[in-house]
Amino acid sequence: MSDVRVDTWGACVDFPIFDAKTRSLKKSVLGAAGGVIGANASNVVVVEALKDIDLHLQHGDRVGLVGHNGAGKSTLLRVLSGIYEPTRGSCRVQGRVAPVFDLGVGMDPEISGYENIVIRGMFLGMSRKEMLRKTDEIAEFTELGDYLNMPLRTYSTGMRVRVALGVVTSIDPEILILDEGIGAVDAEFMKKARVRLQELVKRSGILVFASHSNEFLAQLCDRALWIDHGQVRMDGGIEEVVGAYEGPDAAKHVRTVLDEIAAEQTGTPVVPGSRPVTEADG
Ligand SMILES: Nc1ncnc2c1ncn2[C@@H]1O[C@H](COP(=O)(O)OP(=O)(O)OP(=O)(O)O)[C@@H](O)[C@H]1O
C-alpha cells in the first residue's frame, strides 16, 4: 500500500467536437465556464479540457480540486482513474483505484438492497466474499431495515443514496477518486456518513476529491489544487487555495471547520471566532 503513486507529466485532454461549426467560433475562447474552445490542425473544433497537468501524489496525500464549472476537475479525475487517456503527455497510476463518480452507478433497480450492496462493492474492486462479510454492518448503517429485502426501485432517492454511501464508505481503496454528488441525504444521516467518509479517507492511500463544498474539502483533504480553464492555477493548503479562489470569507469558513476538526481530535471545545492572543494584540 505504501508504494501507491499517481503521476502525470504534461497531461492534456482535448475533446474534438466534430459537429460544431468552426466558422462561428473565434480562434480561442476563454469564457467564465468551460475549457478553452479552439481548433486543431485539421480545423476541427476542440475543447481543451486539461492542459499540461503535472501532478505527483504519494501515499498519504489528500488532495481537493476546486475551480469553476467546466474547469476540468472531473476530466482530471477520469484521467487518474484510467477512463481517459491523455491526448498528449502521460499518466501513470500505481495502486488499485476506486472511482466514485456517481453514487448510483452499478446499482440495479430490480434486485434487493442487500444484493445491490454486494454488487456495488464488487464494482469498486472488492471481492464477493469481502462484501458478504461487510453486509450486516452496512445494512445497520443505512437504517433501512426490511426495505433491504425489497427491490431498489421501491426506494426514494435518499434511500438509494444511503445504500450507495454505506457501500462506498465500507471499501478499502488504495487510491480513492471522489467526485461530489454525496449531498442528497437528510442532514442527520449526513452527519453519520461524514464520520464514515473521514474513516474511509484515513484508510485510503491517496485521495483526490473534486467538490464545490468547502466544508467537505476541509473535512477530507489537507491540500488543494485550483483548476482554472484546464490548468493548475494554484497548489497549496486548503485555506490558502480556497481564499485565493473564493475570497477571505470562504477561507475563514475553512479555518473554522479545520479548528473544529482539531478540537474534536484533542477534545478541546471551540469558541467561535476565538484565536490565541499574540504579542501583536498589545
Ligand atoms: N465528453 C465530453 N465531450 C466534450 N467536451 C467535454 C466532455 N467532457 C467534458 N467536456 C468539456 O471539458 C471541460 C471540462 O469539463 P469537466 O467536466 O472536467 O469540468 P468540471 O471542472 O468537472 O466542471 P463542474 O464543476 O461543472 O462539474 C468543459 O469545457 C466541458 O465542456
Helix ranges (H only) for the chain are 73-80, 113-123, 128-142, 157-168, 187-203, 214-220, 238-246, 248-266
Cell 431498489 -> residue = 152
- Tens of pLDDT along the chain (282 residues) come to 668 999 999 999 999 888 776 555 555 556 666 777 877 777 788 889 999 999 999 999 999 999 999 999 999 999 999 999 999 999 999 998 988 887 777 789 999 999 999 999 998 889 999 999 999 999 999 999 999 999 999 999 889 888 988 998 899 889 999 887 665 567 777 778 888 888 888 889 999 999 888 988 998 899 999 999 999 999 999 999 999 999 999 999 999 999 988 888 787 665 555 444 444 443
97 burial (CB, 10 Å; 0-12 / 13-18 / 19+) is buried
Return the residue whose CA atom lies nearest to atom 3 of ligand 1: 15
What's the CA gap between 171 and 164, in Å, rounded?
11
Q: Supply angle C-alpha 62, 261, 183, rounded to 5.
A: 65
Which residues have CB under 6 Å of ligand 1?
15, 34-35, 47, 49, 67, 69-75
Cβ pair 130, 121 in contact under 8 A: yes
Atom of ligand 1 nearest to the CA of 72: 18
CA-based nearest residue to 112, from 141, 80, 144, 140: 144
The atom of ligand 1 lying closest to the CA of 37 is 29
Q: Cα torsion at 147, 194, 180, 67 (round to 10°)? A: 170
Atom of ligand 1 nearest to the CA of 71: 21
CA 272 to chain centre: 29
Model's pTM, two decimal places? 0.85
Between the CA of 57 and the centroid of ligand 1 the distance, in Å, is 23
Longest Cα separation, the chain? 68
Predicted complex ipTM: 0.98
What is the length of the chain?
282
Pocket test for ligand 1, best of 46, 50, 73 (most atoms within 8 A of CB): 73
Measured from the CA of 76, which atom of ligand 1 is nearest?
Answer: 18
CA distances from 12 to 15, 55, 76 (A): 10, 12, 9
Give the Cα separation of 76 and 208 in Å (integer): 10
Which residue has the CA at smallest separation from atom 4 of ligand 1?
Answer: 15
The residue whose CA is least distant from atom 15 of ligand 1 is 70
Q: Residue 230 CA: which ligand 1 atom is closest?
A: 14
Give residue 179 CA to ligand 1 midpoint distance, Å.
Answer: 13
Q: Which residue has the least CA distance to atom 11 on ligand 1?
A: 49
Nearest CA to ligand 1 atom 29: 34
Specify burial of residue 99 (Cβ count, 10 A radius: 0-12, 13-18, 19+).
buried
Q: Would residue 255 be called left, alpha or beta, if left means φ above 0 and alpha means ψ between -120 and 50 degrees?
A: alpha
Residue that is written with C-alpha cell 470569507 in the block: 249
Q: What are phi and psi of 152, to 5 degrees?
A: -60, -25
